């Protein structure tokens, strides 16, 4: 509803859709609360002490006020200096006690919240590790991160503040109400009459404010998205002299954002004063009626009680607006809890069956038998695939984008389970093999060449954690690229940066080769990188690749002619079917699809 | 930064004035409540001191006490309404002021960012640049409304309160405020001590997020190498660190807040003891004296707490402001010489004269570059990664200026061209084919937003992009980019070519780093590039032999120097890098097949 109010120019600057936004509120749900509360179970001692301190504190605050009122009413009014001293001492003692309780109340609440969140984060992470590849292919990284960061953060506030602060404040209200009843029941009813007004104001403004904040967030996300793009695309912008146009569009966006901000600030500006006005109304009413009672002869109320009542009323009212705020936060926390628990409740689509067999040794014979597969039901990507890869052979997979090459390697790596038909590893159904065992014998190099932000050595060690530095250096030597790695600023100890960004594409590829090779896998899966590197580096990568492949059953999604030439079998895929198979030479002679592809390419190059 | 406040002085003065008015109104209504208490007390109990009527306004003798109380209550209500209204106005004014500042600053920073030279972007990470416009700008605003205005308002408020309290009773005021310096000192000390803990905390959280995002993005690596357990251990450790960091802050916070609370209560205690005695001795009125005092002390403590906030605000606003002003004050390294004449036409004659260039002093990237291109010629640039190819072409549109030597277009130094004219006449296809999240049409028309649909389609046709665009869900209106339709690398590059061609530039720069695509696309790409070059002076960074052999001249770069120059045939005839690179490939090509015409088909035979 708010997005429609955005300026139309936004469409021409950046089209940020908000359609995937998740609800930021969720009604209070008892099951969620119980489940969240269960997370405090491991910290039961902390929680119980906290509850005690909460109860204590809700009594202490009104009591302190009561002492002041009592002293003013009694000793001060009567001129009893001894009573004054006693009252002062009592007050000092109680104040000290109150603050001591406060220390525990605050510290334990904060720590409990953090402890719960800490456990939740670990649970989420552990859970994520169990999810199959499909989950990560279909879920955006940002979404998973926001589960872990912002939702969990909302939950923390929920535990740290909403629950315990609300308890303290409710308690304080009850105790203050009791005192007021004791002072003057009539007046108290009057106070009670004002409470709903206060509550209503709160509800009204909180609702409108949360709408306003949402509009602010939406417009701000448009601002940041535009900004991010502007910064990343600055070279294009300057190259095409678009600076002024962009600046004008951006100005419009932030004007728009500022309008929402202004609206919210304006509302806040009305809200707080209205609350205070309500308090003032109460003071005036109290004066009028209380004063009336005191002034009427035989009214029974005296001035001291009136003062006490004034103080207590403050104790009674201040929680109301606080609780209104807490209620809002509680709804936000609920939404967070709902999402976090939904993630935790998403069962992995498949896990190893209990009967899964260990796989100590692998020869490396892979067989596809009439295998069909679909990512989405009803949209098959592989049809009746049958082939055998004998141990030690290299199979090249060739075909257009979307022909099913990646799906085949996804199945061999057991990232996905086959649909119908069978995939046999050394004659065993892949479904019946322990996934961890299988992967121990499979080395994978994918196109992205993903590296962790760690040193080169540690990145290679991912392939075999117990490998020593010397072993890793030896792997580089066997790949015949040790000189290239040692040429890095700090050699093997060079930090590769986030996603390996500090290495060149070619260097990243070599590290990935080493990572796959260090585990000495029997089966190798390789999705050849497509990015361009200069011919010299290219040459080195090719040589390393040849060494990596030798002696292993290898599946290669090939982009280079030399790799295909090297393969024992070339499988040509088209729309999920194997349309041709054979060696390069055989296929060229066969003048089929492969030959046509090849011809066309050669023509393009020779032109 | 003070200058910034000065720019908005009218708004600032108005805000300060309104705040003062608010303090005065608040004080009056508090005084009236005290007055009422005293009046009631005096009426009921004639022995006690008579109230002091403010401004010499005594109610007429004829009024009954009840009427007087009612009048006071009415006055309180009236003041309360006035107060509410004034606060609302003040809030709106303040919001207006801060929003104006933020919009202005954001616009300024963005505008400046659009013009800043590439060196600036090389030096700073995009995340930090984005933060400057979003977060740090808020920091600067904070200085105006959180520091400057707050200092004045808090100072004035404190002065007024102090004045009022002193006017009521000097010794009592001093006694009650004895703890204030301690409070102030403690707040300052606390915020100083806790800041490094917060910073450590932020660093720990960043590490946690990095661990998570790397894990999710590299899930295929994690799974294929069975790293789940190690990843969990890594995450748990990072999580633990976050928790411990938080606990440290919590401990400090939980000691600090109750201590301050206790100090505030000590003030009340002093008031009760000492003030109570004074009331007993008849030196102080119960209502106008003690009651008002108690309330004022409360507010005083709040204001002192405010001071601690202000000191925090100063800290964060200064760090924010530094980063904002760093942008605003950054010199435009590449800018127009004043009064540069505007030239419309460009013939496209290029000359590099003894050009040296270094990103950092002492580390030359290009040295003694000399070459010439006549209008319509195609110059290909070859060389290994890091040899300076991209840097060389970026000197032409003045993304950087040479450290020595000159770059001439039509015999005029590029520095004497108006930047807009220069860049509008040079079409650039960047290596990464960056596209913005708008429609296909808007992306092609990026450099010339007013372009008609026919112009856009013509450019798309020349770039061999028309067919696939037509097949997109919404044709030319399809939104692409992060939130839209995904395009393949080849498609993106063709759009980038169309974008450059739309301007009909006499000079074209092609940084050709197409990722390998399937052969059909490859074929079309080469066609598109050939058509794009037709009739323009072209600088092309090329890896493909097919492109290289079409060039009128090839420049081979090595470590920033031109090591070879000539046509394809000439270079093949002389020993050196070029022949070597060609030989590697030729060897591979021969190995592939006996067909002779594969000789120099491509550096990277792609099937």
pLDDT digit string, tens, across residues B126-142: 777 777 777 788 777 77
Q: Is residue A574 exposed (0-12), middle (13-18) or buried (19+ Cβ within 10 Å)?
A: middle
Q: List all residues of chain A from 56 to 115 with a beta carbon under 8 Å from chain B.
A: 64, 68, 71-72, 75-77, 79, 81, 84-85, 87-88, 91-92, 95-96, 98-100, 102-104, 106-107, 110-111, 114-115
**What is the structure's pLDDT at B522?**
63
Please check whether residue B431 is in contact with residue B513, taking contact to mean a CB–CB distance below 8 angstroms: yes
Alpha helices in B57-135 (DSSP H): 65-115, 118-123, 126-131
Closest partner residue to A400 among B94, B228, B518, by Cβ? B518
- pLDDT number for residue B518: 54
CA–CA gap between residue A425 and residue A390 (Å, rounded): 10
Whether the pLDDT of residue A604 is over 70: the answer is no
Q: Which of A574, A117, A428 is nearest to B243 (CA)?
A: A117
Instruction: Provide the shortest C-alpha distance from residue B246 to chain A (in Å).
Output: 8
Between the CA of residue B534 and those of A58, A273, B383, what are the distances in Å?
Answer: 83, 71, 24
Q: φ, ψ for residue B327 (rounded to 5)?
A: -70, -50
Q: Which residues of B touch A504 (CB under 8 A)?
A: 385-386
What was the ipTM of the complex prediction?
0.78
Name the token pair of A548: 């990596």
Which helix or strand (DSSP H or E) is residue A512 part of? helix A505-518
Contact A445, A513 (CB under 8 A): yes
Question: Do the chains contact at A141 and B216, CB–CB below 8 Å?
Answer: yes
Asked if B337 and B415 count as a contact pair (C-beta separation under 8 A), the reply is yes
How does pLDDT run across B259-303, given as a tens digit for each residue? 888 887 888 788 878 887 887 787 888 777 777 888 888 777 777
State the average pLDDT over residues A128-135. Answer: 86
Between the alpha carbon of residue B224 and those of residues B58, B219, B420, B531, the distances in Å are 90, 8, 51, 45
- What pLDDT does B582 receive? 73
CB pairs under 8 A between A and B: 474
Q: Do B113 and A230 touch (CB under 8 A)?
A: yes
Residues A29-44: pLDDT tens digits? 788 888 888 898 999 9
- Closest by Cβ to B519, choosing from A499, A565, A597: A597
CB within 8 Å of A280: residues ≥ 6 apart: B29, B76, B77, B79, B80, B83
Helix axes B180-217, B228-270, angle to 10 degrees: 170
* A29, A263, B2, B90, B303 from B152: Cα distances, Å: 47, 26, 14, 15, 12
Distance CA A418, CA A415 (A): 10
H helix count then E strand count, chain B? 23, 10
Order of strands across the sheet that contains A428-429: A379-389, A366-376, A420-425, A428-429
d(CA B141, CA B125): 23
Q: Which of A167, A107, A151 is nearest to A326 (CA)?
A: A167
User: Which value, to the nearest 10 degrees, does the dihedral of the CA atoms of residues B433, B439, B445, B449 take?
Assistant: -130
pTM: 0.73
Q: Let me know if B314 is exposed, middle or buried by CB neighbors in 10 A (0-12, 13-18, 19+).
A: middle
Other Cβ atoms less than 10 A from the Cβ of B278: the count is: 21
pLDDT per position as a tens digit, A405-445 = 889 998 998 889 998 999 999 989 999 998 888 888 888 88
Which pLDDT does position B2 carry in this prediction?
66
N-to-C CA span, chain B: 61
What's the pLDDT band for A163 if we cut at 50, 70, 90? confident
- Is A190's pLDDT higher than 80? no
Chain B from 348 to 387: CB within 8 A of any A CB? 383-386
Taking the CA atoms of A576, A581, A583 and A584 in sequence, report the sign of the dihedral they define.
negative
User: Residue B562 in 3-state DSSP?
Assistant: strand
Whole-number pLDDT of residue B607: 28
Ranges of residues in chain B with a pLDDT under 50 are 483-484, 514-516, 588-607
Q: What is the distance in angstroms between the CA of the first residue and the CA of the last residue of chain A?
A: 57
Q: Is A138 on the interface with B (CB under 8 A)?
A: no
How far is the C-alpha of A455 from the C-alpha of B215, rounded, in Å? 16
DSSP letters spanning A167-193: HHHHHHHHHHHHHHHHH-HHHHHHHHH
Per-residue pLDDT tens digits for A210-239: 888 888 878 888 888 788 778 777 877 887
Say if residue B45 is exposed, middle or buried (CB neighbours under 10 Å; 0-12, 13-18, 19+).
Answer: exposed
User: Out of A95, A104, A291, whose CB is closest to B262?
Assistant: A95
A233 in contact with B at a CB cutoff of 8 Å?
Answer: yes
Kindly tell me the sign of the dihedral angle through the C-alpha atoms of B283, B286, B292, B298.
positive
Which residues are CB-contacts of A143 (< 8 A; sequence separation ≥ 6)?
Answer: none
Tokens of A61: 């605050």
Predicted pLDDT of residue A16:
40
Structure-token match 């292919």, residue found: A137
**CA-CA distance, A445 to A513, in Å (whole number)?**
7
Beta bridge partners of A373: A382
Q: Which residue has the higher pLDDT, A572 or B33?
A: A572
pLDDT at B352: 93
What's the gap between Cα A183 and its chain centre? 53
Q: Give the integer Cα–Cα distance in Å for A479 and A485.
A: 11
Which residues contact residue A566 at a Cβ distance below 8 angstroms, ignoring those fewer than 6 apart? A394, A396, A546, A549
Question: Around Cβ B514, how many Cβ atoms within 10 Å?
Answer: 23
Nearest-neighbour CA in chain B from A179: distance (Å): 19
Q: Which residue has the higher pLDDT, A299 or B355?
A: B355
Rounded-to-integer distance, Cα A4 and Cα A241, Å: 30
User: What's the rounded Cα separation, in Å, for the pair A159 and A429?
Assistant: 48
The answer to whether residues A249 and A237 touch, using CB atoms and an 8 Å cutoff, is: no
pLDDT at site A20? 47
Q: How far is B424 from chain A (nearest CA, A)?
A: 6
**By the CB < 8 Å criterion, does A503 face chain B?**
no
pLDDT at A280: 77
Is the pLDDT confidence value at A17 over 50?
Answer: no
What is residue A387's predicted lDDT score, i.e. its pLDDT?
93
Distance, CA of A375 to CA of A404 (rounded, Å) = 11
Predicted local distance difference test score (pLDDT) of residue A328: 75
Distance between CA atoms of A216 and A264, rounded to whole angstroms? 8
Interface test with A, best of B47, B99, B205, B224 (most A CBs within 10 A): B224
Judge whether A369 and A389 are in contact, CB under 8 Å. Answer: no
Residues A578-594: tens digit of each pLDDT: 998 998 888 888 888 88
Q: Which position has the token pair 């021409």?
A: A12
Is residue A462 packed enough to be buried (19+ CB in 10 Å), middle (13-18) or exposed (0-12)?
Answer: buried
Pairing mode of beta strands A420-425, B363-373: unpaired
Convert A454-491 into a string of H (helix), E (strand) and C (coil): CEHHHHHHCCCCCCCHHHHHHHHHHCCCHHHHHCCCCH
Q: Which residues pair with A526 in a beta bridge?
A: A445, A556
**Distance (Å, whole) CA A429 – CA A603:** 44
pLDDT tens column, A240-277 = 778 888 888 888 988 998 899 888 888 888 887 887 78
A:12-51 residues touching chain B, CB 8 A cutoff: 12-17
- Token pair for A270: 């009305």
- Give yes or no for a contact between B236 and A122, defined as CB atoms under 8 angstroms apart: yes
Task: Determine the distance from the C-alpha atom of residue A552 to the mean position of all C-alpha atoms in its chain, rounded to a whole number.
Answer: 39
């Amino acid at each position: 509803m708010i997005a429609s109010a955005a300026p139309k120019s936004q469409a021409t600057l950046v089209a940020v859709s908000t359609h995937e936004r998740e609800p930021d509120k969720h009604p209070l749900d008892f099951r969620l609360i119980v489940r969240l509360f269960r997370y405090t179970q491991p910290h039961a001692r902390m929680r119980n002490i906290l509850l005690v301190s909460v109860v204590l504190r809700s009594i202490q605050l009104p009591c302190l006020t009561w002492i002041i009122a009592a002293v003013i009413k009694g000793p001060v009014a009567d001129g009893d200096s001894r009573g004054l001293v006693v009252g002062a001492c009592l007050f000092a003692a109680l104040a000290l006690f109150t603050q001591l309780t406060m220390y525990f109340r605050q510290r334990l609440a904060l720590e409990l919240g953090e402890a719960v969140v800490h456990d939740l984060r670990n649970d989420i992470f552990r859970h994520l590790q169990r999810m199959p590849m499909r989950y990560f292919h279909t879920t955006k990284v940002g979404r998973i991160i926001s589960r872990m960061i912002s939702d969990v953060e909302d939950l923390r506030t929920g535990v740290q503040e909403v629950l315990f602060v609300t308890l303290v404040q409710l308690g304080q209200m009850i105790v203050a109400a009791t005192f007021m009843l004791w002072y003057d029941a009539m007046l108290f009813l009057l106070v009670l009459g004002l409470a709903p007004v206060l509550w209503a104001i709160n509800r009204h403004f909180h609702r409108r404010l949360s709408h306003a904040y949402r509009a602010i967030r939406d417009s701000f996300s448009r601002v940041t998205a535009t900004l991010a793009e502007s910064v990343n695309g600055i070279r294009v912008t300057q190259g095409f002299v678009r600076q002024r146009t962009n600046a004008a569009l951006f100005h419009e966006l932030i004007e728009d954002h500022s309008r929402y901000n202004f609206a919210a600030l304006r509302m806040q500006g009305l809200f707080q004063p209205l609350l205070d006005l309500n308090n003032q109304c109460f003071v005036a009413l109290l004066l009028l009626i209380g004063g009336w009672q005191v002034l009427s002869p035989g009214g029974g109320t005296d001035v001291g009680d009136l003062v006490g009542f004034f103080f207590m009323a403050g104790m009674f009212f201040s929680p109301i607006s606080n609780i209104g705020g807490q209620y809002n936060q509680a709804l936000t926390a609920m939404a967070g809890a709902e999402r976090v628990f939904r993630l935790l409740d998403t069962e992995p689509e498949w896990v190893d069956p209990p009967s899964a067999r260990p796989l100590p040794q692998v020869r490396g014979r892979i067989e596809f038998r009439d295998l069909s597969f679909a990512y989405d039901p009803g949209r098959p990507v592989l049809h009746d695939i049958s082939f055998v890869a004998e141990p030690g052979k290299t199979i090249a997979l060739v075909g257009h984008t979307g022909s099913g090459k990646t799906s085949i390697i996804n199945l061999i790596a057991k990232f996905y389970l086959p649909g119908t038909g069978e995939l046999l590893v050394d004659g065993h159904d892949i479904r019946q093999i322990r996934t961890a065992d299988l992967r121990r014998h499979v080395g994978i190099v994918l196109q992205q060449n993903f590296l962790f932000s760690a040193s080169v050595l540690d990145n290679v060690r991912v392939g075999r954690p117990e490998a020593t530095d010397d072993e890793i250096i030896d792997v580089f030597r066997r790949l015949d690229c040790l000189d290239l790695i040692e040429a890095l600023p700090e050699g093997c100890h060079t930090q590769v940066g986030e996603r390996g960004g500090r290495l060149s594409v070619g260097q990243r590829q070599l590290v990935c080769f080493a990572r796959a090779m260090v585990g000495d896998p029997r089966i190798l899966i390789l999705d050849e990188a497509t990015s361009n590197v200069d011919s010299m580096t290219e040459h080195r990568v090719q040589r390393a690749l040849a060494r990596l492949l030798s002696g292993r059953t290898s599946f290669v999604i090939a982009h280079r002619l030399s790799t295909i030439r090297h393969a024992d079998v070339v499988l040509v895929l088209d729309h999920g079917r194997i349309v041709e198979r054979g060696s390069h030479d055989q296929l060229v002679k066969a003048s089929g699809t492969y030959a046509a592809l090849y011809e066309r390419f050669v023509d393009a190059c020779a032109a | 930064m003070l200058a910034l406040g000065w720019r908005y002085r009218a708004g600032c003065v108005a805000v300060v004035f309104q705040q003062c008015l608010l303090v005065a109104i608040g004080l009056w209504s508090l005084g009236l409540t005290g007055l009422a208490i005293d009046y009631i007390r005096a009426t009921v109990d004639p022995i006690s001191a008579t109230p002091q009527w403010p401004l010499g306004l005594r109610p007429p003798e004829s009024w009954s006490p009840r009427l007087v109380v009612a009048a006071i209550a009415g006055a309180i209500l009236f003041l309360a309404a006035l107060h509410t209204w004034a606060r609302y106005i003040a809030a709106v004014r303040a919001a207006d002021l801060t929003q104006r500042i933020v919009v202005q600053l954001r616009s300024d920073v963005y505008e400046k960012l659009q013009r800043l030279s590439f060196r600036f972007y090389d030096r700073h990470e995009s995340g930090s640049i984005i933060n400057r416009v979003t977060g740090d700008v808020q920091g600067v605003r904070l200085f105006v409304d959180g520091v400057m205005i707050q200092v004045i308002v808090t100072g004035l408020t404190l002065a007024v309160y102090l004045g009022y309290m002193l006017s009521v009773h000097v010794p009592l005021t001093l006694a009650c405020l004895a703890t204030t310096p301690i409070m102030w000192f403690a707040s300052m000390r606390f915020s100083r001590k806790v800041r490094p803990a917060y910073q450590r905390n932020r660093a720990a959280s960043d590490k946690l997020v990095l661990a998570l995002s790397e894990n999710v993005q590299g899930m295929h690596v994690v799974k294929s190498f069975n790293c789940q357990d190690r990843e969990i251990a890594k995450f748990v450790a990072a999580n633990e660190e976050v928790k411990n960091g938080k606990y440290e802050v919590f401990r400090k916070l939980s000691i600090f807040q109750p201590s301050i609370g206790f100090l505030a209560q000590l003030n009340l205690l002093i008031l009760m003891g000492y003030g109570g005695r004074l009331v007993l001795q008849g030196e102080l009125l119960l209502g106008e004296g003690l009651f008002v005092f108690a309330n004022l002390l409360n507010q005083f403590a709040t204001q002192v707490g405010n001071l601690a906030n202000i000191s925090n605000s100063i800290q964060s606003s200064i760090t924010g402001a530094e980063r904002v002003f760093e942008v605003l004050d950054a010199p435009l390294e590449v800018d127009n010489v004043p009064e540069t004449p505007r030239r419309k036409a460009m013939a496209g004659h290029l000359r590099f004269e003894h050009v040296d260039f270094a990103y950092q002093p002492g580390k030359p990237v290009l040295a003694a570059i000399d070459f010439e291109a006549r209008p319509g010629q195609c110059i290909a640039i070859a060389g290994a990664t890091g040899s300076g190819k991209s840097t060389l072409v970026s000197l032409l549109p003045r993304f950087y200026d040479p450290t020595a030597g000159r770059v001439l277009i039509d015999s005029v130094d590029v520095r004497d061209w108006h930047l807009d004219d220069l860049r509008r006449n040079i079409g650039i296809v960047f290596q990464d084919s960056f596209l913005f999240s708008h429609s296909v049409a808007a992306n092609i028309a990026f450099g010339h937003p007013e372009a008609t649909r026919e112009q856009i389609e013509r450019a798309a046709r020349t770039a061999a992009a028309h067919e696939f665009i037509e097949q997109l869900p919404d044709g030319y209106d399809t939104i692409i980019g992060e939130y839209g339709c995904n395009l393949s690398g080849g498609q993106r590059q063709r759009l980038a070519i169309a974008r450059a061609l739309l301007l009909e530039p006499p000079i074209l720069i092609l940084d050709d780093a197409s990722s390998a695509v399937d052969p059909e696309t490859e074929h079309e790409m080469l066609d598109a590039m050939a058509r794009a070059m037709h009739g323009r002076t072209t600088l092309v960074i090329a890896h493909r032999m097919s492109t290289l052999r079409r060039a009128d001249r090839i420049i081979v770069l090595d470590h920033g120097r031109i090591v070879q120059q000539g046509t394809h045939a000439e270079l093949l005839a002389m020993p050196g890098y070029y022949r070597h690179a060609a030989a590697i490939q030729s060897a591979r090509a021969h190995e592939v097949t006996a067909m002779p015409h594969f000789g120099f088909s491509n550096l990277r035979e792609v099937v």
